[in-house]
């Protein structure tokens, strides 16, 4: 709900590289040349390494660009940043709309900067292909954090596929880390597949929940609860406090039914009221415990190495399949075959053969 109001961002962002416009070819060519001069990847990564937020914004815009010419430039920036990255902690935050994600991130982010941390907030929202971020779009809720010199907030990248959006976010993490941000918060909506993508790029996965009447887990997609390293029951204040305490017991019981995690961490349930700034420090304390445990038992490092290999393979698969889907005529062929398969006129397998023969012809 709250994520759809006021899509205009209150965050001042540098424009960086814009997408090509529909203008005459000659003009387009001239603009492209101008732009080629304008984008200097070295300037961008030097700026990032000097902890310049404007350069960081430009770098992320480059990473997010759909212009194929920008791909190599983006890789240059990423590779230059890489040796300085990997020094942060990455925390995924999810929860259904209305749970208070923005308020929580504002309170949590402000607390972190108050203890000397530099906080970057990114988002993954595959539904935001036009609005350029329906979550984190509502910056009025994060007024303090937006103005904080030690914070950086960026709405979700846009894109056709979750894979693409997720990859861009994953690349942006590297840039944020090279820019000196040591806590990266990645927000996503708790309703779909994007959680799996976020889970594959964070060290810790936090699920925000609300206390309800016995339906604490309603609306949370199957599987998300099992991914969580912690469940924070938000809005645990006033009349809600007793309900929240009961919810904590219920959720705790459910969590104990799941098998132990590879990290050896037993997922925890915490109460918080982001609005009244209660329970926030305790959440960071819990996270610190987690990082101590997983750094000692090497899970932290091993997990990141696995994630890196995963992202390499994911990127390869994404691009190979993209090439297929973008082939002329494929879309129409898929649609007609889907109809035939649905009506049982063809087996899924001969339909697939037909489409593949066309592609590899």
Provide the minimum distance between the beta carbon of 168 and its own copies in the complex, in angstroms, as a whole number. Answer: 10
The strand pairing partners of 153, in sequence order, are 121
Integer Cα distance of 50 and 46 in angstroms: 6
Helices 70-81 and 41-49: angle between axes, nearest 10 degrees: 30
Cβ atoms of 229 and 206 within 8 Å: the answer is yes
Question: Of these, 217, 232, 247, 274, which contacts its own copies (CB under 8 A)?
Answer: 217
CA gap 83, 221 in Å, rounded:
37
Query: Checking phi first, is residue 258 left (phi over 0); if not, alpha (psi -120 to 50) or beta?
Result: beta
Q: Report the SS3 class of residue 165.
A: helix
Answer for which of 34, 68, 349, 361 binds its own copies (CB under 8 A) is: 349
Under the binding rule (CB under 8 A), the answer on residue 268 touching its own copies is no
Please, are residues 156 and 130 in contact by the beta-carbon 8 Å criterion? no
What does the alpha-carbon distance between residue 259 and residue 245 come to, in Å, rounded to a whole number?
A: 24
Q: What is the 3-state secondary structure (H, E, C) of 8-69?
A: CCCCCCCCCCCCCCCCCHHHHHHHHHHHHHHCCHHHHHHHHHCCCHHHHHHHHHHHHCCCCC
If binding means CB under 8 A, how many residues of this protein chain bind its own copies? 61
**How far apart (Å, rounded) are the C-alpha atoms in residues 227 and 195?**
9
**Whole-number minimum distance, CB 227 to its own copies, in Å?**
8
The contact mask relative to its own copies for 165-184 (x = CB under 8 A, - = no) is: --x--xx--x----------
Q: Is 83 in the site for its own copies (CB under 8 A)?
A: yes
> Which CB atom, from 54 or from 254, has the smaller least distance to its own copies?
254
Residues 97 and 89 sit within 8 Å (Cβ to Cβ)? no
Which of 149/320 has CB closer to its own copies?
320
- Measured on CA atoms in the order 14, 20, 23, 27, is the torsion positive or negative? positive
With binding defined as CB under 8 A, does residue 221 bind its own copies? yes
Q: Is 254 in the site for its own copies (CB under 8 A)?
A: yes
Least gap, CB of 195 to its own copies (angstroms): 12
Residue with Cβ nearer its own copies (69 or 317): 317
If the CB atoms of residues 116 and 259 are measured against its own copies, the closer one turns out to be 259
Q: Does 132 bind its own copies (CB under 8 A)?
A: no
Residues 280-319 as x/- pattern, contact with its own copies by CB under 8 A: -------------------------x--xxxxxx-xxx-x
Based on the shown chain and the rule CB under 8 A, indicate whether residue 97 belongs to the binding site for its own copies: no
Q: Does 213 bind its own copies (CB under 8 A)?
A: no
Q: Give the nearest distance from C-beta 118 to its own copies in angstroms.
A: 21
Based on the shown chain and the rule CB under 8 A, indicate whether residue 355 belongs to the binding site for its own copies. Answer: yes
When binding is defined by CB under 8 A, the residue of 22, 24, 26, 360 that contacts its own copies is 360
For the bound state, the minimum distance from the C-beta of residue 98 to its own copies, rounded and expressed in Å, comes to 16
Q: Report the greatest alpha carbon distance in the chain.
A: 68
Q: What angle do CA 60, 66, 67 make, to 5 degrees?
A: 105
Q: Segment near its own copies (CB under 8 A), from 23-31, 138-146, 237-245, 338-346? A: 338-346
Nearest Cα to 265, choosing from 223, 221, 307, 205?
A: 205
**Structure-token pair, residue 294:** 């997983």
Site residues, its own copies (CB under 8 A)? 71-72, 75, 78-79, 82-83, 86, 167, 170-171, 174, 216-223, 226-227, 250, 253-254, 257-259, 305, 308-313, 315-317, 319-321, 323-324, 334, 337-338, 341-342, 344, 346-353, 355-356, 359-360
């Amino acid at each position: 709900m709250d994520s759809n109001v006021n899509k205009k961002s209150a965050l001042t962002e540098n424009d960086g590289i814009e997408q090509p416009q529909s203008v005459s070819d000659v003009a387009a060519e001239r603009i492209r040349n101008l732009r080629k001069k304008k984008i200097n990847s070295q300037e961008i990564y030097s700026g990032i390494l000097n902890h310049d937020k404007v350069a960081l914004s430009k770098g992320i815009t480059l990473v997010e660009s759909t212009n194929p010419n920008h791909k190599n430039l983006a890789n240059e920036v990423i590779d230059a940043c890489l040796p300085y990255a990997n020094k942060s902690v990455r925390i995924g935050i999810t929860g259904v709309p209305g749970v208070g994600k923005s308020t929580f991130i504002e309170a949590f982010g402000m607390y972190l900067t108050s203890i000397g941390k530099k906080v970057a907030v990114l988002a993954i929202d595959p539904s935001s292909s036009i609005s350029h971020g329906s979550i984190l779009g509502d910056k009025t809720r994060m007024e303090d954090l937006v103005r904080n010199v030690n914070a950086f907030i960026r709405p979700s990248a846009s894109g056709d596929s979750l894979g693409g959006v997720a990859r861009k976010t994953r690349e942006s993490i590297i840039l944020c880390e090279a820019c000196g941000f040591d806590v990266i918060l990645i927000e996503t909506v708790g309703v779909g597949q994007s959680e799996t993508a976020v889970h594959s790029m964070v060290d810790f996965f936090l699920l925000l929940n609300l206390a309800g009447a016995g339906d604490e887990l309603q609306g949370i997609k199957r599987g998300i609860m099992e991914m969580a390293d912690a469940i924070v029951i938000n809005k645990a204040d006033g009349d809600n406090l007793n309900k929240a305490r009961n919810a904590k017991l219920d959720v705790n019981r459910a969590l104990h039914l799941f098998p132990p995690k590879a990290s050896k961490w037993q997922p925890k349930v915490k109460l918080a009221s982001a609005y009244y700034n209660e329970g926030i420090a305790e959440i960071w304390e819990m996270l610190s415990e987690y990082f101590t445990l997983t750094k000692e038992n090497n899970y932290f490092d091993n997990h990141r190495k696995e994630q890196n290999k995963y992202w390499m393979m994911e990127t390869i698969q994404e691009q190979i399949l993209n090439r297929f889907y973008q082939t002329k005529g494929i879309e129409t062929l898929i649609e007609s075959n889907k109809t035939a398969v649905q009506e049982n006129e063809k087996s899924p397998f001969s339909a697939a053969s037909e489409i593949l023969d066309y592609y590899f012809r």
